[in-house]
Amino acid sequence: MLIVDDHSAIREGLKSALRDSGEFKVIGEAADAAQALGLVEKIRPAIVVLDVSIPGLSGIKLAEQIRGISHVTRVVVYTMHAELGFQAAMMRAGAAAYVLKGEPLSTLLDALRMTRDGRTSFFGLSTPTVANEAELEGSLRKLSQRDSTWD
């Protein structure tokens, strides 16, 4: 598993929690998009835990590029961004799971288990299939405008 987050405290905390779980092995970590892409190319992790806000590239575009480099790598988003637009964009980018950082750690572990088992999970959020269509489209427009400035 590769952890991609620009906050070292998050990376260290996740590594410790995953090690303590006895179920997952962290084989790399990255603080920005360039490091993440280099590691995905080199080690082809089964799972990448990815924040939406990453220096160098939006997390959405990074998720797309990760999936382009390694189709076997699954992306689990671990973020503070609860906005529907982010969730929908990450689904479109191929993310397998979306977990908010405010959720208990057990929620992230459940998402990782589901991802490892080939399932998809978006915890604590409305799915686009039940969301108000106008709200979803408005969120995606705002996200597209904001995302285009992150390059």
| pLDDT (tens digit per residue) in 93-142 | 999 999 999 999 999 999 999 999 998 887 655 443 434 444 555 555 55
Q: Where are the alpha helices (DSSP H) in 22-104?
A: 33-43, 59-69, 84-93
pLDDT of residue 127: 43
Domain topology for 2-148: Rossmann fold (3.40.50)
> Nearest CA to 66 among 48, 53, 79?
48
DSSP code at position 58: -
The ranges assigned to domains in the chain are 2-148
pLDDT of residue 120: 86
CA 64/CA 52 separation, integer angstroms = 12
CA 25/CA 5 separation, integer angstroms = 17
| pLDDT (tens digit per residue) in 47-80 | 999 999 999 999 999 999 999 999 999 999 999 9
CA 129 remoteness from chain centre:
20
